[in-house]
Amino acid sequence: MNEIILTPKEQPSVPLELLNVNPDTVAGKSIDEIRQIKIAHGNTEVELSEFFNVKGESSENPSEIRIVIDGDVYNTKRIGYGMQSGEILVKGNASMYVGTEMKGGKIVVEGNVGSWAGRDMEGGELIIMGNAGDYVGSAYRGDWRGMSGGKITVHGNAGNEIGEYMLGGKIEVKGNATTLAGIHMNGGVLVIHGDATTRVGGEMMNGTIIVKGRIDEFLPGFKYHGIEKNIEIDGEVIDSSFYKFEGDFAVKGCGGIVYANASKNGHIVP
């Protein structure tokens, strides 16, 4: 694996956009050429080297490239946009749209990320060690087709409307999620290890949501199907007792499933 190391100089108050800095777009370029890649800074374009020191070694083959952002890029958006192969490692926080429209490869962010991480993701793996904002694995505004493949893991907490219009793939949140998790979900698997407050699976048509923590209040549009033990999802057995719900009957033809941990959710059983 050849590493290209981008060390941030400073984060300006008007955000940067690394729309075209991923292993696929830098493959075959020399380090000097990478320094000259144009990135967006507000309504202007600047060279990458204006805000990042660039060193390391590139490769002809994008799957052999790992881009390491060696520092905090809390005001840099669209890291790994449309990425197809290779790896990106961010050793700090990142702003909105990490891994948006990602098709392959792997992104690891050691800190927190802003909203729309993994929006419209089709494949690959996105790992966030800290917290994520709203709309993890969601759809573009107005679209009814969200994340369709790949895997997103958030080790911290996630915000509102995660998995919005999700079609496929898997999202795993190790911490808590706030309201409207799995809203309009049409497929795929959403696992929340912590609590999920309210409106879990609102208007969901299909797919599976597993909440291992507490759901404060459940929607009236779901039908209760009793207790299920040791459920199997994607070939993995989850060793616990769950209340099984089907819905959301607010939507015609629905067949979504929500499993809520039986030891914490007695209050939502009718």
State yes or no: residue 100 binds another protein (CB under 8 A).
no
State yes or no: residue 142 binds another protein (CB under 8 A).
yes
Residue in the structure block whose two tokens are 């005001």: 75
* Interface stretch with another protein, choices 35-43, 122-130, 167-175, 228-236 (CB under 8 A): 35-43
State yes or no: residue 255 binds another protein (CB under 8 A).
no
* Burial (CB count within 10 angstroms: exposed 0-12, middle 13-18, buried 19+), residue 132: buried
Beta bridge partners of 139: none
State yes or no: residue 239 binds another protein (CB under 8 A).
no
State yes or no: residue 144 binds another protein (CB under 8 A).
yes
Contact 26, 37 (CB under 8 A): yes
In the list 118, 150, 188, 202, the residue contacting another protein (rule: CB under 8 A) is 202
State yes or no: residue 147 binds another protein (CB under 8 A).
no
* Interface stretch with another protein, choices 49-57, 61-69, 166-174, 180-188 (CB under 8 A): 180-188
- Between vectors from CA 101 to CA 156 and to CA 52, what angle results, nearest 5°? 75
State yes or no: residue 195 binds another protein (CB under 8 A).
no
Q: From CA 150, how far away is CA 266, in angstroms rounded?
A: 33
Q: From CA 132, how far away is CA 121, in angstroms rounded?
A: 15
How far does CA 40 lie from the centroid of its chain?
23
State yes or no: residue 44 binds another protein (CB under 8 A).
yes
State yes or no: residue 52 binds another protein (CB under 8 A).
no
In the list 106, 151, 199, 212, the residue contacting another protein (rule: CB under 8 A) is 199
* Residue with smaller CB distance to another protein, 179 or 261: 179
For residue 120, give both structure tokens: 């419209």
Contact 259, 209 (CB under 8 A): yes
State yes or no: residue 15 binds another protein (CB under 8 A).
yes
* Interface stretch with another protein, choices 24-32, 47-55, 60-68, 198-206 (CB under 8 A): 198-206
Residue in the structure block whose two tokens are 């998995």: 163
Q: Report the greatest alpha carbon distance in the chain.
A: 65
Measuring CA to CA, which residue among 212, 202, 203, 215 is closest to residue 173? 212
Return residues touching another protein (CB under 8 A).
13-15, 40-44, 96, 115-116, 134-135, 141-142, 144, 161, 179-180, 183-184, 198-199, 202-203, 217, 219-224, 247-252, 270
